[in-house]
Amino acid sequence: MLSDNVEIVASLRYGNDHGLMIIEDPESTFAHADWDAAESPVSAGPDSLYLSVQPYVDGPVEIAIARKGYDNPQAPHVYFSGELNVRGRYLIVRDADDVMRYAIRCRSGLNKVRVMADEPGLASLLVIIVEND
């Protein structure tokens, strides 16, 4: 379960076929071509993130999307902390096949994003925090 000190706007549980979650501007063209998930669980571009998570055969991935709050004892590892550039008014959280897709409202321009995980590389819990105040 998730900690009570995170302001959750969405909570999803999803069996991810390929072990990859993506957070991106819908207009992103950044390819992440040189990323090797075996070397680093995260690939960050100017407007997108690729995140390594556990594949479906190991169980579902729980995803919490929040507006604020960083303290979640079940997700102590910082996967990413920085800014993503958004051209429109939202970021997309999706799987590699675009079967699971969730839109997060944000502002146009730079948005602070922090992603916390329970386990680097094979995360079964991601907490995605988008701050745009």
Q: Residues 116, 118, 120, 124: is their CA dihedral positive or negative?
A: negative
Say if 1 falls within a structural domain: no
In a domain, 117, yes or no: yes
Q: What is the pLDDT of residue 59?
A: 92
In a domain, 87, yes or no: yes
Cross-sheet strand order for the sheet of 101-105: 42-44, 48-52, 20-24, 90-95, 101-105
Q: In this predicted model, what pLDDT tens digit does every residue of 47-87 receive, in sequence order?
A: 999 999 999 899 999 999 988 765 678 899 999 999 999 99
CA distance 95 to 39: 20
Could you tell me the pTM of the whole model? Answer: 0.90
**Percent above pLDDT 70 for the chain:** 92
pLDDT confidence of 6, banded at 50, 70, 90? low
**Alpha helices (H) in the chain, listed in sequence order:** none
Domain count, the chain: 1
Question: Where in the sequence is the domain holding 57, given as residue range(s)?
Answer: 7-29+38-131
Q: Which residue has the tokens 């594949």?
A: 55
The residue with greater pLDDT, 114 or 73, is: 114
pLDDT tens for residues 16-58? Answer: 888 999 999 999 999 999 999 989 999 999 999 999 999 989 9
Give a yes or no: residue 2 inside a domain: no
